Amino acid sequence: MLNLKNLFTRALLALMLVTGAGAALAGPTYHVTVDTTTYTGTGSLDFFLSAYELSEDNKAYLGNFSGDFTGFTLTEGDASGDIGSGLALTTRDGFAFFAQGVNFGGRFGFDVRFDLTSVDPIGFSVGLFSDELNDYLGATGTVVAIELAPGQPDLVSVNAEFASASEVPEPATLASIMLGLTLMGSTLRARRKK
């Protein structure tokens, strides 16, 4: 009976380590809010992911969308999905572009999570296009830009007139992994004392 209990305990600890490791190694996640309350009409939110060097796939996953969206979409490069189920942008082709139609007059929100698989930097940007003005809003046409390079701090640029971006803290996954390792160590130590 004792061996079965030890086996079950070890299996449970191994499961904790395996399920927590992926989340602990995931890239940064940001919550972005775009404010169009001072505008009327329609337009589009444009999402762009680019690699500065053609290399392995780097990915951006977008989800948790909120706002007044229309049925218009446009994709180029390696972009897939929709706002209902989430978007995946990859740099396999060097870039990915996804445009989603919106009705101005409110706020739009979404989360973006990055998975970096190469040592080369990538850039992610959000543009806000106005059909009425037939131009991008903001001085540079970009309301949010995030530059990521492995081993370097992320560079986040926000046009405060239109948007905000904040890093979403990871759940205490690393703490769970450390707890699992500690429990495994104490189990082994208790086993050796017998």
135: tokens are 């131009």
Whether residue 97 sits in one domain with residue 187: no
Same domain, 89 and 127: yes
CA distance 41 to 18: 49
- Paired tokens of 58: 């780097």
pLDDT given for residue 21 in this prediction: 47
Q: Which residues, including other chains, have CB under 8 Å from residue 147's CB and lie 6 or more apart?
A: 121, 122, 123, 124, 154, 155
Instruction: Say whether both 34 and 17 belong to one domain.
Output: no
Per-residue pLDDT of the chain (194 residues; tens, 9 = 90+): 556 666 666 666 566 655 554 444 457 899 999 999 999 999 999 999 998 877 667 899 999 999 999 999 999 999 999 999 999 999 888 899 999 999 999 999 999 999 987 778 899 999 999 998 889 988 788 999 999 988 889 999 999 999 999 988 765 556 666 777 787 777 777 777 76
At residue 125, the 3 state secondary structure works out as: strand
Task: Kindly state whether residues 130 and 76 are assigned to the same domain.
Answer: yes
pLDDT at 5: 67
| Tally of domains in the chain | 2
Do 34 and 121 share a structural domain?
A: yes
Residue-range definition of the domain harbouring residue 66: 29-167
pLDDT at 24: 44
Q: Are residues 185 and 109 in the same domain?
A: no
Two tokens, residue 78:
């390696």
Residues 48 and 141 in one domain: yes
Q: How far is CA 179 from the centre of its chain?
A: 26
Q: Do 93 and 186 reside in the same domain of the chain?
A: no
Residues 106, 155, single domain; the answer is yes
Shared domain for 73 and 150, answered yes or no, is yes
Please choose, from the candidates 155, 154, 70, 61, the residue with its C-alpha nearest in 3D space to the C-alpha of residue 108. 70
pLDDT value of position 118: 73
Q: Return the pLDDT at 8.
A: 66
Residue 58 sits in the same domain as residue 98: yes
DSSP letter for 56, please. S
- What is the structure's pLDDT at 191? 73
Question: Is the same domain home to 139 and 53?
Answer: yes
DSSP for 148-159, please give it: E-TTS--EEEE-
